[in-house]
Structure 1
Amino acid sequence: MAESDERATVRPVTLARLVETAHICSAEPRSTVDIEERLDVTHRRARETLLEALRIDLIDEDTAPEEAEYETTHVGEEFLSAVRSEDWPTVSDVLAARSPHYGAFLDVLDDVAPAALNAVLSELEVAEKHTPRSYNQTSVEVVGDWAERLGTIQRNAFTGSYYPIERDEVPANFPYALLAVYDDLEETAGVSLRQRYLSIPELRETFCERHRCRRDAFDRALRRLAGQNVGQLELSGAPMDTGAKDAKLGIKEMELGGDEGLVSTTQSTEQVMAGVEQFGKQYYYLAVHDRNLSYDSTEDTSEP
């Protein structure tokens, strides 16, 4: 275990590899060679993954055999149980309690969000200066990737800012909150370039960052609001007189049931730029024709 404690920074290990390593070691003790073969990685990558899993206490090392073997711990079994149940908040809680780097990242983000990567890094360096841990850009990206895939945080796909998810639904004053974001984005185009239609992907990313809510909650609320205010709000396809910025970052997700393992991961900018779907049609732009909007969050006029 001493070797796993020597490194001050978090190792560049993906969440999927941590899950698969704990999964592989849960049936019976496994050697490093076993891990190499099952993960289909080099010896160095396998060793790196094992050491980080040891640090987080997902596995334990038995050095008695001629070749060291690794077995999933009680913590690792709790971690796997949450993964199999797709209980991502519990998976995140286990990591926050056991991975000092991940826990520190979430604590700092709570204080400074929304924040760019460099701002998070600077705050981590200050907060952790009296610990044996250190951080760099890769460190933030690694633990940020874990948190994003678990739905604990989101990252603005256009600006790269990190922020924690604090609500599963939009605020009760959604129409007013949406109009405030709409006005702010419209202003950025300049007075002479005020746009009648604004990009739904940009509205979504800005709104979710400002109110720290999930993207799917925004989509549900926008469909509902548009359905309750026909003629006042217009969802549109792709008007020729406006162009949306391309997303710099993709949405990162993890789900159960990979073809070759316990989980599979995705990262796609297509999800960011997808707009919203209603009644079988895809809409990418929003226009506000009348600001006197009504909104009933209990009436579901949207599609499931």
Structure 2
Amino acid sequence: MSDERPTVRPVTLARLVEATHLCRTSAQTTDDIEERLDMSHRRARETLLETVRIDLITETDDDTFVATTVGEAFVDAIRDENWIEVSSILETHSPHYGNFLEVVEESGPVQLETVLEGLEDQAEFTPYSYNQTSVEVVGDWGKRLGTVQRNAFTGEYYRPKNDDPPPNFHYTLLGVYDELEETAGVGLRQRYLSIPEVRERLCANLQLTRQAFDEALAALAKENVGKLELSGAPMDTGAKEARYGIKEMALAGDDMLVSTSQSTEKVMQGIEQYGKQYYYLTVHDRELTYTTQ
């Protein structure tokens, strides 16, 4: 088999993990992978070729595949749920993924089309090339590992570098609130705004993780009772709708195979406080205070 191909193959992170784990357990043929992973022969071959290119497995002289030392470290990191290490291994050994992260870090928040342009510029004197599918493939890896986030409403990619909200979080929140507040007519403004939309905009602006936003907003609401109000909403509210799902990854419960369970959540969560979900917020008094921990 030849692993030469200019674009990344459409192989999910779960398939990379499964194929590498099987090849670590024992030498595998293409037919073995086809049967064990319940896929077509073409998909099995495609999965093996991409896993070889990333140096997670290698092909032997008898046309079987075994895990490399890199692949063993990859599976160990998956088992430990060390997503930073998993991403680091992919970044080092997959030029497509590494270049994708570099472009997003330099340009983000950035739309897919702009990411593609940046990757094409980088690839001018290399054997690699990119298209929309390849960007979405490596983008999916990054989203599941937490190394990139994608605004669920606008589709912009960015690197969530910050786990701690800045001391001026409340001022930034007010700025985003003003940006999103819709004008319904002269002097008339929308009173309640969708927390998911505020979250996505603010996280992109600050390159902040979603969890950090949730914790900061919950703390801000507790500190500013009467000034900042959180509101619930019916289950079919538009505040929870998004164009793009939020993708995550966790170990599957199957003891026979190290794999990943993947969740694309189109209905975005609000903020939980005192056991209740809130999906809207409104500001009654802009003189907010925010005490950082």
User: TM-score, normalising length from structure 2?
Assistant: 0.94
Question: What residue number does 2:227 align with?
Answer: 232
Give the stretch that moved more between structures: 126-135 or 167-176: 167-176
TM-superposed deviation, 1:257? 2.3
Say whether 1:294 aligns with 2:286. no
Q: CA deviation at 1:44?
A: 0.4
Once superposed, what is the RMSD of the aligned Cα atoms?
1.6
Q: Distance in 1 between matches of 2:146 and 2:183?
A: 30
Deviations 1:84-141 (A, max 9, x none): 1111011001000000100111111111111111110011111111101010000100
What do the CA deviations read for 1:66-99 (whole angstroms, capped 9, x no partner)?
xx11111000011111111111011001000000
Tell me the distance in 1 between the aligned counterparts of 2:195 and 2:186: 20
Q: Name which of 193, 201, 216 aligns with 1:198.
A: 193
Residues 40 and 189 of structure 1: CA distance in aligned 2, closer, same or farther (over 3 Å): farther
- Render the CA deviation track for 1:115-172: whole Å, top value 9, x for unaligned: 1111100111111111010100001000000000000000000010100111112222
* Unaligned stretches of 5+ residues in structure 2: none
The 5 A counterparts of 1:129-278 are 129-186=124-181, 192-238=187-233, 244=239, 246-259=241-254, 261-262=257-258, 263-270=260-267, 272=268, 274-278=269-273
Given candidates 75, 83, 94, the residue that maps to 1:80 is: 75
Deviation by residue 1:244-270 (Cα, 9 ceiling, x = unmatched):
473001111110124474221111112
- Report what 2:57 is aligned to: 59
What SS does the aligned partner of 1:11 have? coil
Q: Distance in 1 between matches of 2:29 and 2:238?
A: 54
Q: Are the structure 2 counterparts of residues 32 and 189 from structure 1 closer, same or farther at C-alpha, using a change threshold of 3 Å? A: farther
Closer, same or farther in 2 for the Cα pair 1:100/1:189, shift >3 Å?
Answer: farther
Structure-1 separation of matches of 2:45 and 2:184: 51
Over 3 Å counting, the alpha-carbon distance change for 1:167 and 1:188 in structure 2 is farther
Aligned partner of 1:265: which letter?
Q
CA distance in 1, matches of 2:137, 2:157: 13
Amino acid aligned to 1:178: L
In structure 2, the CA distance between the partners of 1:207 and 1:134, relative to structure 1 (3 Å rule), is: same
Correspondence 1:104 to 2:99? yes
Deviates most, 108-117 or 181-190: 181-190
Alignment length, in residue pairs? 289
Residue 43 (structure 1) aligned with residue 41 (structure 2):
yes
Over the matched positions of the two proteins, sequence identity in percent amounts to: 60
TM-score normalised to structure 1 length: 0.91
Task: Go from structure 1 to structure 2 and tell me whether the alpha carbon gap of 1:189 and 1:172 turns closer, same or farther (over 3 Å shift).
Answer: farther
Distance 1:200 1:25, change over 3 A: same
Cα separation, partners in 2 of 1:188 and 1:123, compared to 1, 3 Å? farther
* CA distance in structure 1 between the partners assigned to 2:137 and 2:124 by the alignment: 20
Partner of 1:282, secondary structure, is strand
Q: Secondary structure at the match of 1:290?
A: coil
Q: Which contiguous aligned blocks of 4+ residues in structure 1 show a shift greater than 3 angstroms?
A: 187-193, 242-245, 258-261
Who is 1:90 aligned against?
85
1:29 to 27, 30, 36: 27
